[in-house]
Amino acid sequence: MATTERKPLLLDFEKPLAELSNRIEQIRQLAEENGVDVSGEIRKLEARATKLREEIFSTLSPAQRVQVARHPRRPSTLDYIQAITDEWMELHGDRCGTDDPALIAGVARLGGQPVVMLGQQKGRDTKDNIARNFGMAAPGGYRKAMRLMEHANKFGMPILAFVDTPGALATVAAEHQGAGEAIAYNLREMFSLDVPIICTVIGEASSGGALGIGICDRLLMFEHAVYTVISPEGCAAILWKDASKAPQAAMALKITSHDLKNLGIIDQILPEPIGGAHSDPLEAATTLKQALLDNLDELKQLTSQERRQLRYDKFRKIGVFTEIPH
């Protein structure tokens, strides 16, 4: 992960924090220039800033969580892989003529054990995002992922997938290349794999693009990540013909980690540093690594047949509802 100091990118609801931080810095500079000891006052202001940060991030609305999940400096798949693995070797190509940079995959060692890791990869800036298709994988990306998952299954390596995409690439070319077929094939085949599969939603996870690598035994999700069948903007445009109603759509879609845990869709919420994963990427990576190791230890105690049944039962329960008579 990058360690160079950069000016933070502020979200709208973070402005009060920025103003307070600037005030603290101004007081500190004035005190140094005039030789005045104001350490007690600064400690009080810093405690106030910490409390304010906790209050803000503990009461985020679904729409605000979408902003955090999309933060351009939120740790990406490659950031996490490089931070938590002992070794990592990226592998390329779907063996059908393409190598999609929006979906990366490879072999690694996690806690000394060989694993296959894969996930969508967003860019850091406009140029990088264009090269990565903004994390929207083409059919070749899903075929590359499946090739590596079959490799993992053949050699008995657990599969760790990181989901972070606004959706699969939606272009005419992608449709010509069989986008729907590639995702559907992955859905079917992932249910039959013998090895443990753990998926983690690390940022924004939308539509079939997310589900194309999302069939798993355990589904983990970072606290401020979002997981949804359609983006709030897309939902608002369809239902109300007005994208400005995205906050209303975000509320109705139940896309937050706590909503999805209550609905039984995800298995575990991974706490983020106060201020979001982008405020302390190494702490977020440490949390992720420990959760992956703990879940792997549990899943390896099961037989392959038990894991497949667990996987099947997990997804059969999604969408079950009870009708209440009037």
Asked whether residue 6 carries a pLDDT value surpassing 70, the answer given is no
**DSSP secondary structure string for all residues of 130-158:** HHTGGG---HHHHHHHHHHHHHHHHHT--
Q: What is the pLDDT of residue 7?
A: 55
pTM of the predicted structure, to 2 decimals: 0.88
> Which among 167, 159, 172 has a CA at the least distance from the CA of 200?
159
Find the helix or strand (DSSP H, E) in which 90 lies: strand 87-91
Question: Looking at 12-21, 81-90, 239-248, 273-282, which range is the least confident one?
Answer: 12-21
Work out the widest C-alpha separation in the chain, in whole angstroms: 74
Tens of pLDDT along 246-255?
999 999 999 9
Tens of pLDDT along 153-201?
999 999 999 999 999 998 999 999 999 999 999 999 999 999 999 999 9
Tens of pLDDT along 266-323?
999 999 998 899 989 999 999 999 999 999 999 999 999 999 999 999 999 888 777 8
Angle at CA of residue 2, ends 136 and 127, nearest 5°: 40
Tens of pLDDT along 110-130?
999 999 999 999 988 889 999
Helix/strand/coil (H, E, C) string of 276-291? CHHHCHHHHHHHHHHH
Main-chain dihedrals φ then ψ at residue 60, nearest 5 degrees:
-65, 140
**Half-sphere exposure of residue 306: CA atoms within 13 angstroms, side-chain side:** 6
Share the mean pLDDT of the chain.
Answer: 90
> Which among 252, 234, 251 has a CA at the least distance from the CA of 243?
234
The confidence band for 1, taking pLDDT boundaries of 50, 70 and 90, is: low
Q: What is the pLDDT of residue 57?
A: 87
Q: In terms of C-beta distances under 8 Å and separation of at least 24 residues, what long-range contacts does 123-130 make, across chains too?
A: 124/72, 124/73, 124/76, 125/72
Q: What is the pLDDT of residue 121?
A: 96
The token duo for 258 is 């706590």
